[in-house]
Structure 1
Amino acid sequence: MSRNSLVYKFVLLGSDLCYRKGGLSNSPLFQFLKVYYSDHELLALNSAQLDQHRKISTEFLLIETPSSLNKDQLSGIHYQKAVLFDESDCWWFNETQEQQEFLRSLTDLVLKTHVDRSHTHSFRLGTLPTYRKKKLQQCLRWKAMMEAIFGKRSQRNIDLFFIGAPTRLQTSTEGSSRDYNQRLEWLSEVMAKDFPYRFEGGFDGTNRRLIKTFEQEDGDLSPYLASRRYNFYSYFNQLCHSKVALVPTGFARWTYRHYEAVYAKSVMLSTDMSNVELFVPLPPHIINVPDHAPLLPYIEQGIQMFDGQSDLLEENVKFLELYYDNGRFSKRRLKPLERFLLQLEQI
């Protein structure tokens, strides 16, 4: 090997079609790898930085998609295994058929934030680690400190809580007619005047342009707007005071709210995740709600679980802590790294 060749464990090659504040080194995948590997073992590049005269050697070449890469651009990189990764929440591929064929000549494995087995794919799919920022960990430390001082409080004054922007789940690439607005569907039920449980929250109305965009198809959303604004800290605090957390779809089936609800020790009423695979699996004691199903029977089941089986909520937290250390990836938890490397060994 040339004396001028640079050797790495992982080289991440960013998409030239995506913009990310802070660049590829700020991506969830790169941040995850930094937990377990030194700076000397990792390199993040974009296509403009590729140089045939700058020889780079790596065990794993991780290529972000969508990508317009070609064979000549990769001529300066020697790699043992290549993997594609897509940190967007879409379940489909954005490349043209021609570009897919080129990428398939490099590898048949794509890592995505989630894998929805209800859709068919031409590549083999694996899952990406999703890296939450420090705010959740800060909330958990504050919660633990308060419990150490005042003791654990089992009483919660809110039955149900949800706050979030209006979204639609895109279920087809053939137009928007089949998109599913589960958030509005659920809010229409729990914010009705005769609803028998106490609900807090609604749509976040901060982004008026977004609200007006959704009102073009969904009609007046003002009855479903939250009466107050939330930042992350007040949002998590409200989760901790609610018996049940509503977790409908976002733009994808999964959301960070799935994990936040577990750490808040709320019963999770989730969009149906039975066909969805995540890098950190969801714990066993959640309630999946089928699409378009009336919500009330599942809410009653959730209230009963909170009142009579709160030990299951503690078990949910213990399950997540097999992967996380107080809500974050950590060198003290090797299970995530083992899971990630196992996917790469199957190339």
Structure 2
Amino acid sequence: MSENFMLSTAVQDVFVILMLALTLVVMARNLRAISYVGVSRQLGLIAAGMAIWGGFHLVHLLFLLMGPLWLGDAQLLQVSGVMQTWVRWACESLATILFLLGVVQLTWRFGRLMQALEESRSAYENEHNARTSLESELKTAATTQRTSSLQESEFLLGLSHELRTPLNGIIGLGSLLGNTKLDPAQRKLLGTLEESAQTMLARVAAVIDLSRLRTEKVEIRQQVFSPAELVKSVEALFLPTASKKGITLSSQATEAASAQVIGDFRLTKQLLSTLASIAIKYSSAGTVGIIVDLEPAVNDVAWVEFTCRATELRFPADTINQVRAEMGSLRGDGGIGLAICLQLASVMDGTLDLDSTAEAGTVVTVRLPVRCEV
């Protein structure tokens, strides 16, 4: 056996051993990913074939390096012939069979993975299309609902304006009729007529306010006012009505509430006036109290809290639930007035909380953000 042949064969063995060893190391370092994909068995067959192939070249390399030290030329040539014939053929045949089995199974597994990937992509596209279609339907429904609500509010606003004019005419004519000579029965009927007209006019005004709030035709006007003085003015406004019904109306302001703040005085007074009107109108006795407090400012923003308590006023549970859930598509039992209050609080970025129990009566808490005057 020539030295050049032995050298070239040894170099070939070393190259094959290094390449196979590198491949097996890469497989070993990615066992977790191989197991996750589910190709452990297929790559195991390929690795076994490569190990047999590499094992033969390793044994052959050792024989080339160590054989001349132990064997003579005749024995060395004989053993080399055996290794290069049937041993090599057996090892390479077995390695090739295992390698091909692994490749075939790996190809089949790859096809299954591609099929599953295609099914997943198709399912994702179908879900995406369904979500897009649903989103478009929801947007269309929301737009239609907003348009319908706006048209309804504008219709109510126009209708309420049309009703207010003849109602004012009825009240005016009733006032003129009251200045004529009437017997007691006629005057009583006239009083009932005027009271009914005033009640209806108040309802029409409430519908106008609610429609205007729902169509967002409300302008926020910032001005300086004192929450304590505002509460006193509301008390003075409704004190005659409360006294006439035998209801005790009172107001209380903390020392902090006497400070000057910047907010919408007009809308705040409308909100408190509506609350006071509801409390007095639907209470037959007891007390109605309004308490105001001003929390310390944080980053130039403070919260003024108005608490209106009516001891003898009870609201049905369904009315309270509607106020909390729907922001006031209500009818009767003070529902429209509460809806207006809730809408006003929302317009001013505030909150309104309603609680009505048999023990404590009805408590309405309104919190509105204001800025402190420097």
TM-score (norm 2): 0.20
Q: Which of structures 1 and 2 has the bigger CA Rg? A: 2
Q: Which structure exhibits the higher relative contact order, with contacts defined as CA atoms closer than 8 Å and separated by 6 or more residues? A: 1
Normalized per residue, the structure richer in helix is 2
Normalized per residue, the structure richer in strand is 1
TM-score (norm 1): 0.21
